C-alpha cells in the first residue's frame, strides 16, 4: 500500500522537471536572437572608414589580468590587406604600439566581413576617456582615430 506524502516537493517535482526541460529552448532562442547596443558613428582614418559596435553596455571585465571591453569593428571602406596590425584601447590617450604589442589583448582579429577586438581598458571608465583605434600599414604609417564614449559607460 502506497503511502501518500503530500508535501511541496511531491506535489511540484514534475512541474519543476518540465521547467528544466524548457530552459534549453529559452537559451537557444536567446542565442539565435542576440541584441547589441547601437553602433558608434563611422570615422575615417587614412583610406579606411571604420564603425565600431560594442557587444554590450556593461563595464569592462577582467580577462587574463587585464580589463577589456569587446567590440565588433566593421571596415566600410579601405582594403584590410593594407593593414599590418591594428589595436584598440579605451582611455584618455591612444596607447603606443610598443606597449600594445606586449600582449595578445587589444589586437584586431577576424575576417574582411568583421573584426573583433578585446579593447584594453581600466577597471572603470573615467570622464574624458575615448575609444582609440591605432592602425599600422605595411608601409609603416601609423593611423589613429578615436570616438567619444556613451555617458552611461562612464564611472560615477
Q: What is the tens place of the pLDDT at every residue in 7-48?
A: 998 889 999 999 999 999 999 999 999 888 999 999 999 999
pTM: 0.79
pLDDT at 152: 84
Q: Which SS3 state, helix, strand or coil, does residue 146 take? A: strand
* Angle subtended at Cα 44 by Cα 43 and Cα 48, rounded to the nearest 5 degrees: 120
Whether residue 103 contacts residue 125, with contact meaning beta carbons closer than 8 Å, is answered with no
Q: Is the pLDDT of residue 155 over 70?
A: no
Amino acid at each position: 500500500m502506497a503511502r501518500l506524502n503530500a508535501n511541496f516537493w511531491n506535489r511540484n517535482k514534475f512541474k519543476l522537471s518540465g521547467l528544466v526541460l524548457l530552459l534549453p529552448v529559452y537559451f537557444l532562442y536567446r542565442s539565435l536572437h542576440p541584441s547589441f547596443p547601437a553602433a558608434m558613428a563611422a570615422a575615417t582614418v587614412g583610406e579606411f572608414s571604420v564603425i565600431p559596435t560594442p557587444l554590450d553596455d556593461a563595464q569592462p571585465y577582467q580577462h587574463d589580468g587585464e580589463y577589456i571591453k569587446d567590440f565588433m569593428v566593421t571596415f566600410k571602406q579601405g582594403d584590410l590587406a593594407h593593414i599590418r596590425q591594428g589595436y584598440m584601447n579605451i582611455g584618455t590617450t591612444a596607447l603606443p604600439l610598443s606597449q600594445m604589442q606586449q600582449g595578445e589583448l587589444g589586437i584586431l582579429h577576424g575576417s574582411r566581413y568583421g573584426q573583433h577586438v578585446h579593447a584594453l581598458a581600466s577597471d572603470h571608465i573615467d570622464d574624458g576617456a575615448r575609444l582609440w583605434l591605432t592602425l599600422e600599414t605595411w608601409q609603416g604609417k601609423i593611423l589613429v582615430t578615436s570616438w567619444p564614449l556613451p555617458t552611461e559607460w562612464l564611472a560615477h
